[in-house]
């Protein structure tokens, strides 16, 4: 699997440092609040588990799954809710944990969904941001790492379901796209 990687964009250490920095910032800003922290499946699984352990806060944890990519490398445009949260967010402070913001469509969909349910605040923490990819207006409140307009895999992010378990973030060799 490692042989399919052209280059590493962010190492394990880069990711761990980003988790520590954001976890500390969120801990300071939320203080004695009791947020609902929602991991967006599946891409954010590793980031979710790492970052919540950097937050010294009482919190509730939940997961939501939305689909937009359908396995390829470009966004399909429409977002589908695949798995909903269990917690009632009315009157609660919500923090979404995302892997990467690209077009911004997923983020906008998630924010609208929970705003409709009466969350009292909604913030978004993303490991990676691809500002050049934006199609709709969307902005994360906490950003770990910026990435160029390239398709990345690893640390939760997939290509056709694979590579999520790479411990770092990298770019695939061009032949991987033609062979698999
Ligand atoms: P958006 O709705 O902002 O276009 O995209 C959100 C989702 O698309 C991300 O949560 C992620 O699952 C997927 N995505 C966006 N850019 C990339 C990328 O470079 N690599 C991978 N593997 N997934 C991406
Ligand atoms: Mg995602
Ligand atoms: Mg994907």
Residue range 124-149, pLDDT digits in tens: 999 999 999 999 999 999 999 999 99
Mean pLDDT in the chain? 94
Instruction: Indicate which atom in ligand 1 lies nearest the CA of residue 138.
Output: 3
pLDDT at 154 over 60: yes
pLDDT at 113 over 90: yes
Q: Is 102 a catalytic residue?
A: yes
How would you classify the pairing of strands 152-153 and 142-146?
unpaired
68 pLDDT band, cuts 50/70/90, is confident
* Domains, the chain, with CATH or none: 12-150 (3.40.50.2020)
**Prediction pTM value:** 0.95
Mutate-to-test residue for ligand 1 from 43, 77, 98, 101, highest number of ligand atoms within 8 A of CB: 43
Alpha-helical runs (H) found in the chain: 12-30, 45-52, 105-116, 174-179
**Catalytic residue chosen out of the listed positions 102, 129, 141, 158:** 102
Instruction: Indicate which atom in ligand 1 lies nearest the CA of residue 98.
Output: 10
């Amino acid at each position: 699997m490692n042989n399919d990687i052209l280059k590493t964009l962010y190492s394990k250490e880069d990711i761990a440092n980003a988790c520590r920095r954001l976890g500390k910032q969120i801990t300071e800003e939320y203080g004695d609040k009791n947020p609902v922290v929602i991991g967006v499946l599946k891409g954010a699984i590793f980031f979710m588990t790492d970052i919540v352990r950097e937050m010294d806060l009482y919190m509730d944890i939940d997961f939501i799954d939305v689909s937009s990519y359908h396995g390829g490398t470009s966004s399909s445009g429409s977002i589908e809710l695949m798995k909903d949260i269990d917690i009632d967010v009315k009157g609660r402070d919500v923090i979404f944990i995302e892997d990467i913001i690209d077009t911004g469509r997923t983020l906008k969909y998630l924010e609208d969904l929970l705003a409709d349910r009466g969350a009292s605040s909604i913030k978004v923490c993303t490991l990676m941001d691809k500002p050049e990819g934006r199609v709709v207006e969307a902005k994360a409140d906490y950003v770990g790492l910026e990435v160029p307009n390239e398709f990345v895999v690893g640390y939760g992010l997939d290509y056709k379901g694979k590579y999520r378990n790479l411990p770092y973030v990298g770019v695939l060799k061009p032949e991987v796209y033609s062979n698999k």
